[in-house]
A and B are shown apart, each in its own frame.
Chain A
Amino acid sequence: MTREETTAKIIAILSEDFEFENPGPTDNLRDDHGFDSIDAIELLGKIEQTILGFSLTREEKERAMTIRTIDDIVNYIEAIRLAHHTP
């Protein structure tokens, strides 16, 4: 999945499942859309199921708790993918 495809997938999840209106890649999700720690956990579950295809560790999830923007989420997913594919 390319970066653009990942971004589109995250935007689709946030729009459909979280009912965010027109979320943009650089929006501050907390300030602009009321995204909180509970949303972060639900979103991580969806990222595991629909994008990564594997479960995240507790440490990896803790790192996601400070995410603010969709760009941050995509960076996070790319870093996780890289870490899991690096021997």
Chain B
Amino acid sequence: MAEHAAAPEVRRRVGDTLLDLGVTLLCWAWFVGGFLLIFSWAYLLVWLLARDRQGGFQRLNHHFFRVFFLLLTASARRHKLSIDPRLATIRGAVVVCNHLSYLDPLFLVALFPRHRTIVKTRFFSTPIFGAMIARSGYLPATGEGRHASLFLQGMESMSAYLASGGNLFIFPEGTRSRDGRLGPFHPGALKIARMCRAPIYVLRLSGSDRLFTPGRFLFNAHLANTIAVDLLGRLEADGDKPAGVAELDRRLRQVFSGQSPRE
């Protein structure tokens, strides 16, 4: 009797695992095959012909990951996306967001056509991927060592980039949260906003860790889930006398905790 009762549960688990595996393989197939067979030609054309190569690479990254998320949500039907419509109006800003999953940076690339971000320095030494992120104008996390020139180049052009409407998105925690709680902030995002006199937009991402949980290889495609990005607020770092980094950090925490930042 017990064996008969357990059979549907086993079948359901096997079905869930097969769905997780299928969606994960589909996404990896796009990640590798979509790049090599389709997008690599577009990147090559941009590299050879575009006046603004960096901007061209950023737009291609944006479209590549839009397709990635279209495939993901089309195949993992129980996952829904909820994007705050106000995000489409953000221009010329430093965008900070909490970090839950490796999907988060890909998600923000898919949201912002003109974007830069800060990437762990070791990724710049990775074959192909390192060259792609460097040519996209992404910055290494540190200005020392062999990537110092890239860091300087990115930082020197940052004010003009933001003034022209581009966005810089950063995960100020620097690493994924394992329990959903906010970790300590690295002050880099706040320093850049202050230095470039750019506004800071604060986003809260939720649900991405339910789809791609840290420590797991397979996507949890079978779960019912909503991945949401909400605009929590805006901090001013662009006046004549912007607040100091410590004060901006305090206001940033207030925004994340749902309080209005007191200026």
Chain A bound to chain B: yes
Chain A positions near chain B (C-beta within 8 angstroms) = 19, 34, 36-42, 58, 61-62, 65-66
Pick from A41, A58, A66: contact of B144, CB under 8 Å: A66
Q: Is the CB of B246 within 8 A of A37?
A: no
Question: CB of B192 within 8 A of chain A?
Answer: yes
**Interface residue tally on B, bucketed by range:** 10 to 19
**Which B positions have Cβ atoms within 8 angstroms of A?**
142-144, 148-149, 151-153, 155-156, 187-188, 191-192, 195, 244-246
Number of A-B residue pairs having CB atoms within 8 Å of each other in the complex = 42
- Please name all residues of chain A whose beta carbon is closer than 8 Å to the beta carbon of B144 when the two chains form the complex: 37, 65-66
A36 to B121, CA, bound (A): 14
Q: A37-B143, A37-B144 are in contact. Are A19 and B187 (CB under 8 A)?
A: no
Is A38 touching B246 in the complex (CB atoms < 8 A)?
no
Instruction: Decide if B152 touches A38 in the complex (CB within 8 Å).
Output: no
| CB neighbours of B148 from chain A (8 A) | 62, 65
Which B residues are in CB contact (< 8 Å) with A61?
152
SS of B interface (majority): helix
Given known pairs A38-B195, A61-B152, the reply for A19 and B246 (CB within 8 Å) is yes
List the 3 closest pairs (A to B, CB-CB), nearest first.
Answer: A37-B143, A38-B191, A65-B143
A36: B residues at CB distance < 8 A: 142-143, 187-188, 191
Contact of B152 among A34, A39, A41, A66 (CB under 8 A): A41
Query: Contacts of A37 on B, CB cut-off 8 Å?
Result: 142-144, 151, 155
- Are the C-beta atoms of B244 and A19 separated by less than 8 Å? yes
CB atoms of B187 and A41 under 8 A apart: no
Report the minimal beta-carbon distance from B29 to chain A, rounded to whole angstroms: 38
Beyond the given pairs A41-B156, A42-B195, A58-B153, 4 more chain A to chain B contacts, judged by CB atoms under 8 angstroms and listed by A's residue number, are: A19-B246, A37-B142, A41-B143, A58-B152
A41 CA to B149 CA, complexed, in Å: 12
Distance (whole angstroms) from the CB of A45 to the closest CB of chain B: 8
CB proximity of B254 to chain A, nearest CB, Å: 19
Instruction: Determine the distance from Cα of A61 to Cα of B188 in the docked complex, in whole angstroms.
Output: 19
> Is A19's CB under 8 angstroms from B245's CB?
yes
Q: By the criterion CB–CB under 8 Å, are A40 and B244 in contact?
A: no
Cβ of A60 to closest chain B Cβ, rounded Å: 10
Note all chain B residues with C-beta closer than 8 A to A58: 149, 152-153
Closest residue of chain B to A63, judged by CB?
Answer: B148
* Chain B, Cβ-Cβ closest to A66: B144
The answer for the CA separation of A61 and B144 in the assembled complex, in Å, is: 11
What is the CA–CA distance of A61 and B143 in the complex, to the nearest angstrom? Answer: 10
How far is it, in angstroms, between the C-alpha of A42 and the C-alpha of B191 when the chains are bound?
9
Select from chain A the residue with minimum beta-carbon distance to B140: A37
User: Which one of A19, A34, A38 lies within 8 Å of B155 (CB-CB)?
Assistant: A38
- B151 partner residues in chain A, CB cutoff 8 A: 37, 65
Known contacts A19-B245, A66-B144, A38 near B149 by CB under 8 Å: no
- Chain A residue nearest to B195 in the complex (CB): A42
